[in-house]
Amino acid sequence: MEPGGSCHRAGNAVSTRSGTARLAIVGSLLAALVLSILPLPWWAAPYRPQWVALVLIFWCFNAPDRVGVLWAFVTGIALDVLSGSLLGQHALGLSVIAYLALQLRRRVLPVPPWQQAITVWLLLLLERLLALWIHGVSGQPTPSLVYWAATIVGMLLWPWLWWLLRRLQARSGMELLDA
């Protein structure tokens, strides 16, 4: 066997693992985009979790070398286009919370997911506040109090979403970070 042969195989394994990790991240973000535009009954729509924000926060906490502000911006533009909202509205909000999630990750990762949910809730609130500000600046009507319900639903879903995405992360061969 040639010396380069074993290195070549190791390089392919790393390349395959990297491709699987990328597929896991892109797939989870695409699933979040679909869940964000899926039609819901009128009474359930205000309680729709901020799926894209939740998935981005997870990846910023757990794969900061792979997902960051640029991913958040591009995903936000896609969400703006798919939802028909003002172009850049979600891109701004998601970019800001991705930046903050990257800054907070070392403090958040050591605690259990049910405690992380409080930080996640604050990030979701910030994203909603930015969207509310954009609504005001663009002359759109101010939403009712039920507008904030999605942040609470997202906070309550966080431990289960964390568990699901953590399993996806492990299966894709990404390093599991704890701090």
3-state secondary structure of 144: coil
Average the pLDDT over 111-129 and give the result.
Answer: 97
Cα separation of 171 and 179, whole Å? Answer: 20
The whole-number pLDDT of residue 1 equals: 40
The whole-number pLDDT of residue 13 equals: 47
**Given the structure tokens 């973000």, which residue do they identify?**
29
pLDDT of 151 higher than 50: yes
What percent of the chain stands above pLDDT 70?
Answer: 89
The whole-number pLDDT of residue 141 equals: 86
The whole-number pLDDT of residue 11 equals: 47
Domain ranges of the chain: 3-171
Average pLDDT for the chain: 89
The whole-number pLDDT of residue 175 equals: 78
Residue 118, token pair as written in the block: 């409080």
pTM: 0.87
**pLDDT, tens only, 48-68:** 999 999 999 999 999 999 999
**Architecture in CATH of 3-171:** Orthogonal Bundle (1.10)
Q: Where are the alpha helices (DSSP H) in 84-112?
A: 89-108
Q: What's the gap between Cα 148 and its chain centre?
A: 18
**pLDDT, tens only, 127-148:** 999 999 998 998 888 888 899 9
Cα separation of 78 and 30, whole Å? Answer: 10
**Surface-to-core class of residue 160, CB atoms within 10 Å of its CB (0-12 exposed, 13-18 middle, 19+ buried):** exposed
